A = this chain, B = another copy of it.
Amino acid sequence: MGREIYSTLKPLFHPRSVAIVGASRDPKKWGFHLLLNVVKGGYAGRIYPVNPREKEILGFQAYPTVAQIPQAVDLVVLVVPPSDILRVLSECGRNGALIGVVITAGFGEISREGKKLEGEMVRLARSLGIRLVGPNCQGIVSTNPSRLYAHMPPQFPEPGPLGVVSQSGNLATSIIELANSMYLGFSRIISSGNEADLQTIDFLEYLAEDPQTEVILSYLEGIKDGERFIRAVKKVSSQKPLLMMKAGQTEAGVKAAFSHTGALTGSDDLFEGLCQQMGIIRPETLEEMVDIAAALLTQPLPKGRRVGILTLGGGWGVLAADYCAKAGLTLPQLSPGMVKTLDKVLPPWWNRINPIDMVAGYRKGDLIQSLEVFLSSRQFDGVLMLGLGWRATRGGFLQVSALTPEDKMEAVGHDWIEEEQKIFAEVQELGRRYAKPILFASDMVHLVPGYAESIRRRRVAAYPSLHRAVRAYLGLVERHEILKRMQETVGSRVPWK
């Protein structure tokens, strides 16, 4: 199944040519924006605007119909009124086009007539050998091998390991913004809309096989073929981490979803139960989804729920301890051996519990040795590190505040920034050596020099607040538990590390 859909969808994600039907010279039309985004995004294949009233649009020769394009087109993006859709599809058939993305809305989501037309459109497409994405969708992004941004919003996210399937275009748009703030890029983004032909599950199967995709995010409004869905999703989640949000957790959401994509969302309790069975991680918010993805992409999985907390301020430790406990993570106490080791490292008044409070005056040696006490212990599966970045922040402030040369503020500021940068690098090194996850939470960690680069090289997961880091850590635990359950029930080797 997976392999078959992989070849079916190849012209969608690796097209050699793209036609935009309904392309326009008028910046007020979506047909203009689709073309503009494909052009501005740097798509390297052939681009064919289709519009019977224009000779040329944005510097590209325009064609009156798809049928008149001299080559067969891999991918056709349709931005035409619903009343034109059947005629245009027939022309695509004459051209030999392989796959279509129907941006156009006004089908099954608005009326019975629309639903009927949607059905006719799919039947016609099938008879012509054309598969369809949409209708009522925002388009698709595929960053590799070509940079194709065939979607409505002016967003051009970097290539990267996230694959997204969303029945809602604007939620895909929000996911892009969130991932961008975490320095994460995308392989493919599919806005699947009404899913008249191709469904979420088809795209999930593709992404599971896609070598460019490492973690899969999905927003779902409705499932059409429950049995196939469950079977296929189980396989997908055995191959790659799958994070899914489903609309219609409440009656209000169910109604809204039906009016949005015509989806019948089904019982939420049922879905919740299926998530465990299918190996799905189910975040509450888009932010959580992206946060967990960031952890999965950068950190090894913890072998259990036992967390050590190392904090550079007492209050952060207290709140994080509360969040961990509420999330079902455990904070084991320090063994007598660990206390003994740390007594040699830390000042006499250190607090001797987990969270270890480094107080405000942390030194590099103390911090690294304390971290290693957690990492080397069999009682701890991973570490949360709170407050890194404030020394670099203070160092930067010293540098810009230097009042008189004899105060040595410039030099001390420089030393502090350098010291924190070294801590940051050593923490990453230690995490790799012990193969345990280390998640940062801090208002200021982004000010540590090397931060952005470390994230891009997938060495760090850092969050601007405690609760986000704790929830991301829980996501790592959930993924570990999913794989463990799979190994126990299937007894087979699991490809994910």
A residues with CB within 8 A of B: 25-28, 30, 33, 36, 39-40, 58-59, 105-106, 110-111, 152-154, 166-171, 173-174, 177-178, 219, 221, 245, 247-253, 255-257, 259-261, 284-287, 312-319, 321-322, 324-326, 331, 349, 351-353, 355, 357, 359-360, 387, 390, 393-394, 397-398, 401, 403-404, 406-409, 412-413, 443-444, 465-467
Q: Which B residues touch A256, using CB under 8 A? A: 314, 317-318, 321, 353, 355
B58-A167 in contact (CB<8A): no
Known: A110-B349, A154-B393, A359-B105. A325 touches B253 (CB 8 A): yes
- Pick from B312, B319, B406: contact of A253, CB below 8 A: B319
Q: Is the CB of A174 within 8 A of B465?
A: yes
- Identify the closest chain B residue to A386 (Cβ): B170
A401 cross-chain contacts in B, Cβ below 8 A: 36, 40, 154
What's the least CB distance linking A115 to chain B, in Å? 13
Bound complex: CA A448 to CA B313 (Å) = 37
Query: What are the residues of chain B within 8 A of A28 when measuring CB–CB?
Result: 412
| Sample (18) of A-B pairs whose CB atoms are under 8 Å apart | A26-B408, A27-B413, A58-B404, A105-B359, A168-B314, A170-B312, A170-B313, A171-B313, A174-B443, A178-B465, A247-B315, A247-B319, A247-B322, A249-B325, A251-B325, A260-B317, A284-B467, A286-B466
CA distance A153 to B355 in the complex (A): 22
Once bound together, how far apart are the Cα atoms of A4 and B233, in whole Å?
Answer: 66
Q: A169 is contacted by which of B36, B313, B393 (Cβ under 8 Å)? A: B313
Given contacts A174-B465, A255-B353, contact A318 B27 (CB under 8 A): no
The reply to whether A170 and B249 form a contact with Cβ atoms under 8 Å apart is no
Q: For residue A174, which residue of chain B has the nearest CB?
A: B443
Q: How close is A231's CB to chain B, nearest CB, in angstroms?
A: 26
Give the CA-CA distance A316 to B245 in the complex, in Å: 13
Known: A26-B408, A110-B349. 16 other contacts (CB 8 A): A40-B401, A59-B404, A170-B315, A177-B443, A245-B319, A248-B318, A250-B321, A250-B326, A252-B321, A252-B324, A253-B322, A256-B355, A259-B352, A260-B318, A285-B465, A286-B465
Contact partner of A397 (CB less than 8 A), chosen from B25, B111, B154, is B154
- A403 — which chain B residues lie within 8 A by C-beta? 39, 58-59
Across the interface, which residues of B come within 8 angstroms of A248, CB to CB?
A: 318, 322
Question: A394 to chain B: which residues have CB within 8 Å?
Answer: 33, 153-154
Asked if A407 and B467 make an inter-chain contact with CB atoms under 8 angstroms apart, the answer reads no
B25 touching A407, Cβ below 8 Å: yes
Expressed in whole angstroms, the Cα–Cα distance for A466 and B171 within the complex equals 10
Nearest B residue (CB) for A261: B314
Report B-chain residues with C-beta under 8 Å of the C-beta of A407: 25, 27, 58
**Residue in chain B with minimal CB distance to A359:** B105
- Given known pairs A36-B401, A404-B58, the reply for A467 and B171 (CB within 8 Å) is no
Task: Check B259–A351 contact: CB distance below 8 A.
Answer: yes
Which residue of B has the minimal Cβ distance to A350? Answer: B110
Shortest A421–chain B CB gap in Å is 18
Is the pair B316, A285 in contact by a Cβ cutoff of 8 Å? no
Residues from chain B with a CB closer than 8 A to the CB of A390 are 153, 173
Q: Given A252-B331, A319-B253, A412-B27, A360–B152 Cβ distance below 8 Å?
A: yes
Whether A168 and B318, one on each chain, are in contact in the complex, defined by CB atoms closer than 8 angstroms, is: yes
Residues of B contacting A404 with CB < 8 Å? 58-59
Top-9 shortest CB links A-B: A168-B315, A170-B313, A250-B325, A260-B314, A253-B322, A154-B397, A171-B315, A259-B351, A252-B321
Say yes or no: A321 contacts B393, CB within 8 Å: no
Determine the distance from Cα of A406 to Cα of B413 in the docked complex, in whole angstroms: 54
Candidate in A40, A351, A412, A444 with the most chain B CB atoms within 10 angstroms: A351
Q: In the complex, what residue of chain B is closest to A284 when comparing beta carbons?
A: B467
A274–chain B nearest beta-carbon distance, Å:
18
Residue of B nearest to A287 (CB): B465
Q: A266 → chain B, closest Cβ, in Å? A: 14
Q: In the complex the two chains form, what is the Cα distance from A317 to B256 in whole Å?
A: 7
The residues of B that contact A173 with a CB separation of less than 8 Å are 313, 390, 443
A326 contacts across to B, CB distance below 8 A = 249-250
Nearest opposing residue in chain B for A348, CB measure? B110
CA distance A355 to B247 in the complex (A): 14
Chain B residues within 8 Å of A39, by CB: 403
- CB nearest to A314 among chain B residues: B260
Q: Is the CB of B249 within 8 A of A322?
A: yes
